[in-house]
Structure 1
Amino acid sequence: MSLFGGAAAANANPTQGDLSKDVQVSDPPTDSISDLVFSPASDHLAVSSWDNKVRIYSIDQNGQSSGVAYFEHQGPALNCCWTKDGQKVIGVGADKAARMLDLGAGQTQASQAQQVAVHDQPIRCCQTIVANGTPMLVTGGWDKLVKYWDMRSDKPAGQLEVKDRVYTMDVRNDMLVIGTAERWIEVVNINNPMSTYKTIQSPLKWQTRVVSIFSPEANGYAIGSIEGRCAIQYVEDRDQSNNFSFKCHRQQTSKDVSNVFAVNAISFHPQHGTFSTAGSDGTFHFWDKDAKHRLKGYPEVGGTISATDFNRSGSIFAYAVSYDWSKGYQGNSPNLPNKIMLHPITGDECKPRPKTNKR
C-alpha cells in the first residue's frame, strides 16, 4: 500500500506526471505563501505567509492534515525553518525579527513565541546549523548582513557582511550558500562562519530567486532565476567542468517566441539526489542532474507555485499554489488560489536514471 492509499495511475507518456492523488492541506494561510518546510524529525510542515503567520501542520500517512500550532509576526512572514532536532520552529519577516515556538516544550499558542533575532531591515531568510558543536540560528536580511545567533542570547554571536541584500539561503552539512541581489552567490564553511569560502556571480543573467544545495553529497548547489533557467554549480575548482545550466518553465507560443517564467523553488530529494524545480508557470518537474535529464513533468496546477519541499523520507512532495509576487503588488488578487498540496512520491518518479556502462 502506497502513501495516500494507492499508486499513481500509469500514463502513456512516461515523462508525464500524475496529479490525481495529490491531497490539499486543510486550513491554508489566508494570504500568499512565502515558504514551507518539513521537520527533519517528523511529518510536520511549517508554513510562512504574508498574513503574518507561521503555521505548523501535522501530516498523516493517508494525506490528512491538521493545524497544531501557529505564531505571528508584525508584518509578512517571509521564511521559516526547524531546528535540527525538529523541536523548534523559527520564522522571520518584514518586521525585522526572528521568532521561535518551542513545540518540544509544549508551546502551541502565538503568545508563547519569543523573539530570538533582529536586523535593521526585513529578514528574508533563516536556517539552523551546528557550528563547532553549538546549535545556531542563521538569519539573512536586506541590510546585507548574515547573522549567527545562539538563541539563548539576544545578541548575535557574530555576523558576516555579504555583497548585497539576501534573497535566498540554504544549508546542508558544513555548507551555507547565500544568494543576494545583483546575482552574487556566497559559499560559507560553517566551521569558519565569519568569512566567505568562495564568492561568484551567478552564471544566469537575471535575478536569483532560489539556491538549493545538492543532497545528500552537498558538494554544490542549484540556482534558479527569474529567466526560466536553472544552473548546476559545483564548489571546488576540480569539479567546475560539471557545471551547466538549462532552460525550464518556459511556454512556447510560436516558432520563435516563448513565455518565460521565474523558477521560484528548487528542492533536492533526501535520498536519490534528484531535484525538483517549480515556477510561476504553475508547473513542477523532477530532474536528474547527473544524467542531465528530466524525469517527470507535471500539468499546470491552477496557479503559480511559490514554495516546495520533500519530507524527510522523500515520500511526500509539498508545493504551495500561491501568488509569488513576480508581477508586483498590482498582480495580486483575492481571487488567486492559496493552497498547499501534498504529492505522494510513487514508483520511479524521483529515482535517477540507471547508469549505463560505456565501452
Structure 2
Amino acid sequence: MSSNLITVASPPEDAISALKFSPNPDSTRIVVSSWDKNVYLYDLRDENGAVGEGKLLQKFEHRAPVLDVCFGENENEIYTAGLDWDVRKIDTNTGEQTVLSSHEAGVRNVVYSPEYKLVISGSWDSTLHVHRPEAGTNTEYIPAVIPLPSKPFSLSITPTKLVVAMASRSFYIYDLKSLALLTAQADGASTDGNKVEIEPWQRRESSLKFMTRCVACMPDDAGYACSSIEGRVAVEWFDPSPESQARKYAFKFHRQTTEDDVDIVYPVNALAFHPVYGTFASGGGDGVVAIWDGISRRRIRLYHKHESSVAALAFSGNGNYLAIGVSPGFEDGKDDMAEGVVKIYVRQLGETEAKRKSAK
C-alpha cells in the first residue's frame, strides 16, 4: 500500500512554527501554531468519519506570533508558547486561555510529560519554567525556574528525560523525576525564591559543527536525533558507556547540487520519530521530507519536493499519518510571503512505509 497525500483545508495565513497530533492514538486531530498569532485545531475526519482534507474546528488568537504548541493530557488540553512571553493553557471545550507563567523574553518551546504531568517551557531569557498544570488554578502558584547557560533552541521529551538543545552547540539532559520533585518543592515559593539550581543528568556538546535547529527523542527512551542549519543530522544515545557512545554518528542531507557542481546547503528544520517503528523523518529548507532508519544508518523513503520549506513534522499516535507543515523559510533571502503558500499536508502511510527493512 502506497501513501496518500492529503491537503488540509484552511491553513494559517503566515508561517507555521509547529504542529502536533493528538496524544490519543486513534485520533486524527492536529494542532498548529503560526506566526499569524493564532493556534489552529483541525480534525482530518469529516462528519461521516472519513479521512480527507478535514476541517478547522477552532482558532485561538494570541497577542503575538506563537512559536510552539503541544497537547496536554488529552486532546482537550493545549499548551502554547510565543513572542508574547507567555506560556498558555487552552481548554478546547470552553476556549478559555490561562497564562501559566510569563518569561522575560520570547518563549521558543513547550512540551508536556504525561508520565509526570509537567509542562516545561524554554525561553530566550535562558530559562526553563517547569509547571504543574493542576496547581495552575491557584493564583499563588509559581513554577520552578531553572537557569540555563544559554538560549534554548529546541526541547524534546521522553518518558524519563528532557533534552534541551541550546546556543553554543550545548545540550543539557535532565531527569524528569528530579524535575517533578523540584516543582513539588517549589510550590508556594515567593517570586524571589522560585529560581532553583538543578544539575542536569548529562551535559553534552553537539556532534554537529553548526547551530542546532531541532532535537527529537527516540520513542524507546534510548537517545535522540538533532539537526543543524548546515544540512546535517546526528544520532546519539543516552547510555554514557564507551560502547554506546561509539555508535553515535552524523550524516548530511537536504542539499542540492547545481549544474556548476556547487552544493546548496539547507537547514534541517524538523525531525520526528515514528512512535511504533522508531524510524524518523527529517524535513528541510529544500522542501524535501525523508524517512530514515537510525539503527542501520540508511534512508528508507524520499518523498517529492514540496513547493516551499518544510517547517514542521509530526507522526500521529498510531503512526499511520505524517503531518507536514510547509511555509517559506526565507532561504532565498526574500522576506515577503505570497498568498496561499502556507500548506499543511498529511501523508497517510502504507503499512510498511516507515518500517525498518530488517524489522519483522
Do Structure 1 and Structure 2 share a fold, with TM-score over 0.5?
A: yes
Per-residue deviation, 1:218: 1.2
CA distance in 2 between partners of 1:62 and 1:355 (Å) = 28
Greater CA deviation, 67-76 or 298-307? Answer: 67-76
**Secondary structure at the residue paired with 2:246?**
helix
Identify which of 282, 286, 291 aligns with 1:281: 286
For 1:128, the equivalent position in structure 2 comes to 112
Alignment of 1:200 with 2:204, yes or no, is yes
AA of the residue aligned to 1:63 = G
For 1:349, the equivalent position in structure 2 comes to 353
Alignment of 1:338 with 2:342, yes or no, is yes
CA distance in 2 between partners of 1:125 and 1:326 (Å) = 22
Q: So what's the TM-score if we normalise by structure 2? A: 0.87
For 1:309, the equivalent position in structure 2 comes to 314
Identify which of 31, 42, 51 aligns with 2:36: 51
Encode CA deviations 1:192-242: one digit per residue, 9 max, x unaligned. Answer: 124311111111011111000012x11110001110000001112221011
Encode CA deviations 1:166-210: one digit per residue, 9 max, x unaligned. Answer: 111011101111111121111111111243111111110111110
AA of the residue aligned to 1:62 = V
- Whether the aligned pair in 2 keeps the contact of 1:34 and 1:79 (CA below 8 Å) is yes
Classify 1:27/1:243 alpha carbon distance in 2 versus 1 (closer, same or farther; 3 Å): same
Corresponding pairs, count:
330
1:139-154 correspondence runs (5 A): 139-151=121-133, 152-153=135-136
1:115-264 correspondence runs (5 A): 115-130=99-114, 133=116, 135-151=117-133, 152-153=135-136, 155-193=141-179, 194-215=198-219, 217-238=220-241, 239-254=244-259, 256-264=261-269
Identify which of 8, 13, 18 aligns with 1:35: 18
CA distance in 1 between partners of 2:67 and 2:324 (Å) = 16
AA of the residue aligned to 1:50 = W
CA RMSD of aligned residues (A): 1.8
Encode CA deviations 1:52-104: one digit per residue, 9 max, x unaligned. Answer: 0011111225223111122122110000011133330111100000222113x
- Whether the aligned pair in 2 keeps the contact of 1:63 and 1:342 (CA below 8 Å) is no
- Whether the aligned pair in 1 keeps the contact of 2:218 and 2:273 (CA below 8 Å) is yes
Encode CA deviations 1:25-77: one digit per residue, 9 max, x unaligned. Answer: 11110100000000101221000000000111112252231111221221100
Encode CA deviations 1:276-298: one digit per residue, 9 max, x unaligned. Answer: 00000000000001111100101
AA of the residue aligned to 1:276 = A
- Whether the aligned pair in 1 keeps the contact of 2:308 and 2:329 (CA below 8 Å) is no
CA distance in 2 between partners of 1:25 and 1:181 (Å) = 34
CA distance in 2 between partners of 1:89 and 1:69 (Å) = 12
CA distance in 2 between partners of 1:355 and 1:123 (Å) = 40
AA of the residue aligned to 1:137 = V
AA of the residue aligned to 2:63 = Q
For 2:301, the equivalent position in structure 1 comes to 296
Provide runs of 4+ in structure 1 moved above 4 Å: 325-328
CA distance in 2 between partners of 1:341 and 1:49 (Å) = 15
Per-residue deviation, 1:251: 1.0
**Secondary structure at the residue paired with 2:23?**
coil
Q: So what's the TM-score if we normalise by structure 1? A: 0.87
Per-residue deviation, 1:332: 3.5
Per-residue deviation, 1:335: 4.7
Encode CA deviations 1:319-342: one digit per residue, 9 max, x unaligned. Answer: 0110235567x4332357101001
Per-residue deviation, 1:349: 1.5
**Secondary structure at the residue paired with 1:27?**
coil
